Amino acid sequence: MKCEWVRENIVLQVYGELADDARHELEQHVARCADCAAELKAEQEFHALLAQDRAADATPNLVAASRMRLQEALETAKQGSFFSRLAFDPANWLRQVKFSPALASAILIFGFAGGIVTTYKFIPHSTTGIVQGPATVPVQTSIAGIDSISQDPNTNQISIKYKAVSEEQKQGSLNDQDIQQLLLYAAHNNYNSGVRVDSVDLLAKRSGDLQVREALMYALQNDTNPGVRLKSLDALGNYVKDDTNVRDAVLRALVNDDNSGVRIEALRLIEPVKADGSVRGVLMALAAKDQSTYIKSQARTMLAQLPEID
Amino acid sequence: MRGRMAGQERRIDDTMLIREAQRGNRAAFEELVRHYDQAVLRLALHLTGTEQDAQDVYQDAFLKAYKNIGNFRFECSFYTWIYRIVTNLCLDHLRKRNVRKEDAPVAKDPSGGEYDLLDQVPDVRAGANPERDLMRRQLGARISGALEKLTPRERMVFELKHYHGLKLRTVGEILQTTEETAKNTLFRATQKLRGALADMR
């Protein structure tokens, strides 16, 4: 009986889950019983064998990608509203009513009163409700927001749907001035981050244009969505070497961005210009005290590759 | 002492964030996600074996949490609550995979080779000692093969205890059962694993 109890509890002992008194009892028994001692040793050895296999941590890239995907989904996700919570949880209602006689009688009274009132009022009112649609007169005014941007892979034609007073659509190539203006507007102002991502994606192909680069830098520094920031960062990558404004913007992202995926990408981009004085300064700060151990170690590695300067 | 204070701070911090998230503040919810998501990903990654599936579990879990956070009533810790959502999704995943496995006895990767969990996970320690590295890979493959043979619930209890170091009391709370049941399940799981890996020692 005792041995059987010990066998069942050895695994708990190995995992440190045994209560103090039970642990004492087990240790006492094992000291006297050779069979159980052998069993404990076998379990400990097995535990040591398993311990060589660790569950790997998620890579920073996977964490960043998962967060981005979630943020995108959250933009359209709806929370269960306060009202629906009240309306669709009758069990909870009953629980509350059970403990609150005042609430119960209030509901009863409201029920009676409501029933009487609707009997008299509901029928005449029900015939008057006609829903008025918005006026559909197309007027040319400024743009209110952009709904979608898409590009046909066959023709390279870009379609942008945007809201004015009426909805309009503009088609043209990326070289089209109007299309460019709309894309720049979308990158700056649009309420839908999916559209901002699309516009930054297309603008990236024209990052030789100074105005486009400014829009991309603006997005990198101000966009609330890390996906948009990452896209603009990638688009700016080629200019880190030649355009000091771009370099400064990337460095600012590297220091200030709250998304580690963006920061890791920024660190990768400044790699070719790591010998630059301003870059070296930032790297030293990161190597000394960055909260991300990955960035800290990468910054150290990059610094170590630099020639010493006196 | 400092550890306990930090724990308390986190609790207060989380409570505020939860209340904000319940009022519909998405930024607060996203902050809350950042407190838990690395642990969630690690669990999902080890249980499902692929980054794609782990990401799906992550996405489904936090979306579900977002939609239902209004129903969270502080009756258990948020930690337990979020783990409950994640483990339920993982259990569904394991059950579905067990059904699929009956059709195809050996899981294959897209190129047709046999599936090996460790091939999916980059090993940063590689290179230092190739021989030991190979041994570790073989061991890992054997262990994951043995884990596959556990029932989803046994697998989950073992996973939470062994790889994630949770207390069995917490494991019981997460799986909405008693500590005693969790203990018995852990016992059964280790017995099975010892049987399956008997020749490794």
- Give chain A's mean pLDDT: 78
Q: Which pLDDT belongs to residue B107?
A: 45
Answer yes or no: do B37 and A63 touch at CB < 8 A: yes
Q: Which pLDDT belongs to residue A110?
A: 77
Tell me how far CA of residue A252 lies from CA of A203, A257, A260, A270, in angstroms. Answer: 21, 8, 13, 11
Segment among A96-100, A254-258, B45-49 with least mean pLDDT: A96-100
Answer yes or no: do B41 and A67 touch at CB < 8 A: no
Chain B nearest-CA distance from A53, in A, is: 6
Question: Residues of A with CB below 8 A from B58's CB?
Answer: 66, 70
* Tens-place pLDDT, residues A292-309: 888 888 888 888 887 765
What is the CB neighbour count within 10 angstroms for residue A244? 13
The span from the CA of B187 to the CA of A80, in Å, is 40
Q: Which helix (H) or strand (E) holds B114?
A: none
Q: How confident is the model at residue A89 (pLDDT cuts 50, 70, 90)?
A: low
A and B: number of Cβ contacts within 8 A: 112
Q: Of all residues in chain A, what percent carry a pLDDT higher than 90?
A: 16
Q: Is residue A250 a contact partner of residue A270, using CB atoms and an 8 Å limit?
A: yes
Q: Which pLDDT belongs to residue A151?
A: 81
Q: What residue segments make up the domains of chain B, in order of their start?
A: 1-104
- On the CB side of B93, CA atoms within 13 Å amount to 26
Q: What residue segments make up the domains of chain A, in order of their start?
A: 2-46, 207-305
The answer on pLDDT for B132 being more than 80 is no
Collapse the DSSP code of B186 into the 3-class scheme (helix H, G, I; strand E, B; otherwise coil) and give the result: helix
Chain A nearest-CA distance from B112, in A, is: 24
Q: Which pLDDT belongs to residue B101?
A: 62
Question: Residues of B with CB below 8 A from A8's CB?
Answer: 187
Collapse the DSSP code of A167 into the 3-class scheme (helix H, G, I; strand E, B; otherwise coil) and give the result: strand
The span from the CA of A258 to the CA of A92, in Å, is 40
Q: How confident is the model at residue B12 (pLDDT cuts 50, 70, 90)?
A: low
What is the CB neighbour count within 10 angstroms for residue B152? 18
The span from the CA of A120 to the CA of A116, in Å, is 7
The answer on pLDDT for A101 being more than 70 is no
Q: Is residue B90 a contact partner of residue B48, using CB atoms and an 8 Å limit?
A: yes
Q: Is any Cβ of chain B less than 8 angstroms from the Cβ of A53?
A: yes
Q: Is any Cβ of chain B less than 8 angstroms from the Cβ of A11?
A: yes
Answer yes or no: do B143 and A43 touch at CB < 8 A: no
At B32, list the tokens: 């809350």
At A203, list the tokens: 């603008």
* Tens-place pLDDT, residues B57-77: 999 999 999 999 998 988 888
What is the arrangement of strands in the sheet containing A145-151, beginning at the earlier edge strand?
A145-151, A158-163, A167-172
The span from the CA of A257 to the CA of A263, in Å, is 6
- On the CB side of A127, CA atoms within 13 Å amount to 3
Q: How confident is the model at residue B141 (pLDDT cuts 50, 70, 90)?
A: confident
> Cβ neighbours of residue A272 under 8 Å, at least 6 residues apart?
A240, A241
The answer on pLDDT for A143 being more than 70 is no
Long-range contacts of B151-154 (CB under 8 A, 24+ apart): B152/B91, B152/B94, B152/B95, B152/B98, B153/B91, B153/B185, B154/B185, B154/B188, B154/B189, B154/B192
The answer on pLDDT for A255 being more than 90 is no
Question: Residues of B with CB below 8 A from A12's CB?
Answer: 168, 183, 186-187
Q: Is any Cβ of chain B less than 8 angstroms from the Cβ of A123?
A: no
Q: Which pLDDT belongs to residue B136?
A: 78
Q: Phi, psi at residue A199, to the nearest 5°?
A: -70, -40
Nearest CA in chain A to B57: A66
Mean pLDDT score, A22-50: 92
Answer yes or no: do B168 and A58 touch at CB < 8 A: no
From B24, B38, B187, residue closest to A11, measured CB to CB: B187
The answer on pLDDT for B161 being more than 90 is yes
Q: How confident is the model at residue A99 (pLDDT cuts 50, 70, 90)?
A: low
Question: Residues of B with CB below 8 A from A63's CB?
Answer: 37-38, 41
Q: Which pLDDT belongs to residue A165?
A: 54
The span from the CA of A13 to the CA of A25, in Å, is 11
Segment among A26-35, A79-88, B125-134 with least mean pLDDT: A79-88
Chain B nearest-CA distance from A246, in A, is: 28
CATH code at B1-104:
1.10.1740.10
Chain B nearest-CA distance from A183, in A, is: 27
Answer yes or no: do B38 and A15 touch at CB < 8 A: no
Tell me how far CA of residue A56 lies from CA of A240, A277, B40, B41, in angstroms. Answer: 34, 37, 12, 10
Nearest CA in chain B to A11: B187
What is the CB neighbour count within 10 angstroms for residue B101? 12
The answer on pLDDT for A168 being more than 80 is no
At A58, list the tokens: 């998620």
Q: Which pLDDT belongs to residue A122?
A: 45
Q: Which pLDDT belongs to residue A219?
A: 86
Q: Which helix (H) or strand (E) holds A21?
A: helix A20-32
The answer on pLDDT for A11 being more than 90 is yes
The span from the CA of A296 to the CA of B2, in Å, is 25
Q: How confident is the model at residue A140 (pLDDT cuts 50, 70, 90)?
A: very low
Q: Which helix (H) or strand (E) holds A153?
A: none
The answer on pLDDT for A15 being more than 90 is yes
Higher pLDDT, B124 or A15: A15
The span from the CA of A117 to the CA of A108, in Å, is 14
Q: What angle do CA A266, A267, A270 make, to 5 degrees?
A: 85
Nearest CA in chain A to B44: A58
DSSP string, B51-94: HHHHHHHHHHHHHHHHHHGGG--SSS-HHHHHHHHHHHHHHHHH
Q: Is any Cβ of chain B less than 8 angstroms from the Cβ of A288?
A: no
Answer yes or no: do A49 and B200 touch at CB < 8 A: yes
Q: Which helix (H) or strand (E) holds A54?
A: none
Q: Which pLDDT belongs to residue B88?
A: 94
Q: Is any Cβ of chain B less than 8 angstroms from the Cβ of A33?
A: no
Collapse the DSSP code of A123 into the 3-class scheme (helix H, G, I; strand E, B; otherwise coil) and give the result: helix
Q: Is any Cβ of chain B less than 8 angstroms from the Cβ of A22?
A: no
Nearest CA in chain B to A16: B167
What region, left, alpha or beta, does residue B49 occupy, with left being phi > 0 and alpha being psi -120 to 50 degrees? left
At A153, list the tokens: 């892979």
Question: Residues of A with CB below 8 A from B143's CB?
Answer: 50, 53
The span from the CA of B93 to the CA of B118, in Å, is 19
Q: Which pLDDT belongs to residue A126?
A: 39
